[in-house]
Every structure is written in structure tokens, then in C-alpha cells.
Amino acid sequence: MKFLQIKEPDLQKPLMIAAMQDMGDVGSIVIDFINTNRDTAVFREVLPSYPAYVIDNGGYIDLPEEKWEYRCDKNMIVFGGGSGQPSSTEELNVLCQDVINVAKKYSTRFIYTLGGFHTKKPIGKEPKTFVTTTSLEMTEQVRKLGIETTPEASIITGFNGLILGFAKMNGIHGIGIYAELNEPKFPQYRSAKSILRTLEKLTYQKLGDMSELDIMAEEVESKTSREQVD
């Protein structure tokens, strides 16, 4: 992987939100929303060594212009988004370690990650969000805020789970926030909104007007309903 330091931001103990594209595009939706509404600026970029896929344009292919960005404002680092994750476990581990290195460099104490929580139970327009943390003590604190924790033991794969393990190994507090979704193949804007609300509660930060996410959700639901009828 190639790491490019674009500039050196002036940050003092910022919180970090780090998530990559996953089912329902939840990670990318949340990261893009925060970057837009907080007007963050790029200070570091990551380019993969090899493409994880190619784009077929109908008879000829293009290579994806994949990259992942570290962005920040005065008290927050935001990493990730994009349209995919590293193509190998080795690169995923290297990327997680780079996120940890950046967190340590700026004395970050908390890393928040997020993603989708696939369920077959109908969730309607108010998906629940579940939280897991890097310590039992922190989980108890989260429960005192009235936030539900993950209901059962499971394995969390990909960046949006593994980064919690890297945080724990390096003595950094980590919190994972995962919202229910039924259809992982379609963008889940309501799940993203549920995560953003929980993030605001946990971080005491205002992340922006979320009404646009309701509009986007209605458009996706309308489109998928028409396709099912056809």
C-alpha cells in the first residue's frame, strides 16, 4: 500500500471515526455525511497496491481509482469511506495498523467504527443501533446512556470490526456502532441515520442535519418497490 502525507494538521487529542464501505454502504454513507457536514480537509491518503475489482463498461474494462482518505476538522479525524476495502487480509492488517499509528500520533483516546447489522426481522423505518466496545467497563457506561449493546456473540469481519481489535491491542478505547438492515445490496440511509444519532449521543458532537438521509431513503425504497412490481 502507498501512504501519502499531504499536510500536518494541528490536532490535540481528537476523537477518530474510522469506517469503510460495507453492506448497505452504511460505512461510506456515514463517513461521507460527516465529511460534508463538518467540512473536513484531507491530510493523508492511502492507495491500495492492487485493485480488488475491475469495472466492465460493456465490452471493455477500466481500473477503479480507489483511495481512502484521512480528513479532519479542529477536533475530529475521519477515516475511510470509499467504494471498497483492501483485497487481502495482509493489506487490511497494514491499513488497520496505519490507522492506529495516526491515532497515536495525535494522542487519540477513542476510535469509533460503524457498519451494518444484517437481520431478517423486519425493521421498518426505525432501525435499531447496537454498540460493542473494547472493554466490559466501557460497555456498562454505554448501557447507562440507554444505548443497546450487541445482543449475542458473533464474529465481525472486515475493517469495521478488525479495527476494534487493533485499538484494544494498542491501548486505545474503541466503540463499534452497528445498525440493523434487511437489504445489504441497497444503500441503507435509515441505518446510517440511526448510527449518526448514536454517534452524536456518544461523542457529544453535532454531525449535521439528517433530513437529507430520509429523502435518500425514500428514493431508494420507491425505486426498489417499482423494480419488485416490474
- What predicted TM-score, i.e. pTM, was given to this entire model? 0.90
- Other Cβ atoms less than 10 A from the Cβ of 13: the count is 10
User: How far is the CA of 228 from the CAs of 59, 182, 223, in angstroms?
Assistant: 28, 15, 9
pLDDT of residue 228: 58
Count the domains in the chain. 1
Which amino acid belongs to residue 165? G
The CB-side HSE value for 17 (13 A sphere, CA atoms) comes to 30
pLDDT of residue 230: 52
**Exposed/middle/buried for residue 128 (C-beta within 10 Å: 0-12, 13-18, 19+):** middle
pLDDT of residue 226: 64
Identify the CATH number of the domain in which residue 74 sits.
3.40.50.10900
- CA dist 108 and 223 (Å) reads 41
Residue 4 has which C-alpha cell? 501519502
**Domain span holding position 61:** 2-229
pLDDT of residue 227: 62
- CA dist 153 and 162 (Å) reads 15
pLDDT of residue 87: 77
Contact 197/190 with Cβ under 8 angstroms? no
Digitized pLDDT (tens) for each residue of the chain, 230 residues in all: 899 999 999 998 999 999 998 889 999 999 999 999 999 999 999 988 877 778 899 999 988 778 899 999 999 999 998 778 887 889 999 999 999 999 999 999 999 999 999 988 888 889 999 999 999 999 999 999 999 999 887 788 889 999 999 999 999 999 999 999 998 889 999 999 999 999 999 999 999 999 999 999 999 888 876 665 55
* In the block, residue with C-alpha cell 491500495: 48
Contact 113/173 with Cβ under 8 angstroms? no
pLDDT of residue 113: 96
